[in-house]
């Protein structure tokens, strides 16, 4: 429960936290070393590693080793399949793609991966994963039937089902690199109906988007694509500040 406790403590202290997503396919060792120092300095709370395409266990292992050599943030495995589970991660999102049309992504991969997770002794963070809107590459690879982003009631039913199944996190995934993030109104409605930790990601590029989503009720905001462009340090810092500002506003409102 080490990583889960750390995330909970950080969420309770800050209202909302930011996690940086790194894709093993897209990074060289030198770039990774530099990037993770920037991530740590920005105030981002943890690092997730994963990608929908062209990732395997040895790429994951290599990336995590470099992360660990260069920063102290916990590393959470964000697996796209059974062959992307790494023994070097601190924890794994043990996730089910709830709106996939293929049972493999709902329970098949989890059954195949369970013994590997046990053997590696990874801390499991149980998560319901819901792909919405455009859905990006993960929607295609995971054979999801993406839910329109404004259908907050439908997304809520998936989130509630996840909660009742005992999952402690729900990830509302807009898809990596999409043009618009999930609308804050949708997040606000889901937040009002469920009590699990809400993770929101996909298409967040600017501070005001991150702040609005945190204020609306996202406990965790994930960004990946902004780490692949220019001006990373400035953009990341602004987004992390936005997440914390939004989280604080929500805490103030509820106290
Ligand atoms: C993908 O939600 C994450 O799983 C991150 O999306 O790459 O658009 O930041 P971006």
Could you tell me the domains of the chain? Answer: 3-254 (3.20.20.390)
pLDDT value, residue 72:
97
Distance in angstroms (rounded) separating the CA atoms of residues 250 and 238: 18
Which residue's CA lies nearest to atom 1 of ligand 1? 176
CA dihedral 125, 128, 133, 136 (to 10 degrees): 50
Alpha helix (H) residue ranges in the chain: 2-14, 29-42, 57-70, 103, 109-120, 136-141, 152-164, 184-193, 207-216, 232-254
Residue with tokens 């500002």: 245
Q: Tens digits of per-residue pLDDT, 161-191?
A: 999 999 999 999 999 999 999 999 999 999 9
| Ligand 1 proximity of 79 Cβ (cutoff 6 Å) | no
Q: What is the pLDDT of residue 220?
A: 99
Tell me if 21 CB under 6 Å of ligand 1: yes
Average pLDDT, the chain: 96
Instruction: Indicate the Cα dihedral angle 12, 235, 201, 203, nearest 10°.
Output: 160
| pLDDT at residue number 52 | 82
Whole-number Å distance, alpha carbon 160 to ligand 1 midpoint, is: 23
- Separation between Cα atoms, residue 225 and residue 77, nearest integer Å: 17
Structure confidence by residue, pLDDT tens digits, 209-252: 999 999 999 999 999 999 998 999 999 999 999 999 999 999 99
Q: What is the pLDDT of residue 187?
A: 98
What 8-state DSSP symbol labels residue 144? B
Nearest to 90 by CA among 113, 122, 130, 128: 122
């Amino acid at each position: 429960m080490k990583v889960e406790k750390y995330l909970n403590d950080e969420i309770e202290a800050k209202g909302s936290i930011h996690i940086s997503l790194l894709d093993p396919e897209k990074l060289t060792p030198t770039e990774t070393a530099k990037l993770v120092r920037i991530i740590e300095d920005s105030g981002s709370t943890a690092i997730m590693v994963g990608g929908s395409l062209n990732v395997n266990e040895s790429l994951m292992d290599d990336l995590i080793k470099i992360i660990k050599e260069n920063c102290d943030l916990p590393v959470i495995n964000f697996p796209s399949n059974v062959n992307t589970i790494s023994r070097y991660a601190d924890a794994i999102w043990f996730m089910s793609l709830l709106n996939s049309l293929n049972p493999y992504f709902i329970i098949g991969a989890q059954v195949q991966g369970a013994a590997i997770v046990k053997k590696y002794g990874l801390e499991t963070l149980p998560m319901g994963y819901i792909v919405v809107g455009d859905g990006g590459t993960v929607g295609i690879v995971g054979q999801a039937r993406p839910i329109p982003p404004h259908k907050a009631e439908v997304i809520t039913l998936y989130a509630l089902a996840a909660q009742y199944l005992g999952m402690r996190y729900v990830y509302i995934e807009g898809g990596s690199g999409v043009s618009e993030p999930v609308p804050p109104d949708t997040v606000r409605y889901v937040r009002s109906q469920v009590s699990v930790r809400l993770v929101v990601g996909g298409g967040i590029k600017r501070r005001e988007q991150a702040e609005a989503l945190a204020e609306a009720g996202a406990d965790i905001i994930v960004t990946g694509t902004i780490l692949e462009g220019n001006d990373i340090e400035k953009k990341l810092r602004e987004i992390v500040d936005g997440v914390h500002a939004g989280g604080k506003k929500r805490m103030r409102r509820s106290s």
